[in-house]
Amino acid sequence: MESRAVENALDDGSGGMKGWVKPAFYSYNFILTRAGMVLVPRSKRETEGIPINSLAFAGFLLCKSEEQVNLVHEAGVLDVLARSGFMKNSSHL
């Protein structure tokens, strides 16, 4: 029921929430610090087997193999994180 109310608010033409990502279809990484709060929408749970969760965005990537460590070193942390997100001009946002 709550989800339907959110969908209606998204599509009611009021401009208040129109165009936002519908929460029923996407998961988010939630980061809360004393300085602020960040919600990062993600398109998938992992990149090359590396779980992309809130800790990854805080700088703690869990690599389960040497191959994954090498991927992070070669591609860079930001690229690995970006692969699980959405492009800025994506139609999903």
What single string gives the DSSP state of each residue in 10-75? HTSSSSSSTTSPPTTT-EEEEEE-SS-EEEEEES-SEETTEE-SHHHHTT-----SHHHHHHHHHH
Tens-place pLDDT, residues 45-75: 999 999 999 999 888 999 999 999 999 999 9
Total residues belonging to the chain:
93
> How large is the average pLDDT for residues 7-27?
56
Average pLDDT along the chain: 79
Indicate whether 14 pLDDT > 60: no
Task: Indicate yes or no: pTM above 0.85.
Answer: no
